[in-house]
Structure 1
């Protein structure tokens, strides 16, 4: 996945993006410089991030009837509503929680998930 992203960002000539491989299950092995983030974009990884961070942009599966067969039954994962997500982010030290929407032409993804922007 990382190599595909690297190739796509190179084709698009996107500069200033630092990519690295890390095992988030072993936070003590991460580089010391990996702190004080300006922006973190995350999908299904929030539970592995240190609590002290900058802005988080998280894409997470929405709790609705459309997603139940895929997320809970097929993938055996959890679905989240806005109320519990807001509470979780606030408890983790991100009191400023805003729910955004996927823009056109990706607005069909709004049926799938939440776009959560959280700031300390």
Structure 2
């Protein structure tokens, strides 16, 4: 019985690790797709939790927003507007985590935020060119 539990535990951990690496791979390799999915999911959750809209309508809103964002990011003007804004958002997130982990040191915040913006713009440009 213990062996069965151990195999099940190893399988569960393997699935979780696989999902984490899949998310990281999509984030790094297909940032435009990841941004669209991320913003659509957040909008669906906010739609339901804050505005108390029916979950089915929130799903439709999230799918429509995903389609709109993905289409916009594949246009020239939309790519630059959304790409720069989302690069700045992700850079802020990275800087915020650096700020927390570095003992609230603002220099780390600005350095990580600046480097994060450069890396994220590079990922957006790489995803656009493929």
TM-score range for the pair, normalised by the shorter chain length: under 0.3
Larger radius of gyration: 2
TM-score using structure 2 length: 0.25
From the two aligned structures, give the one with the greater strand fraction: 1
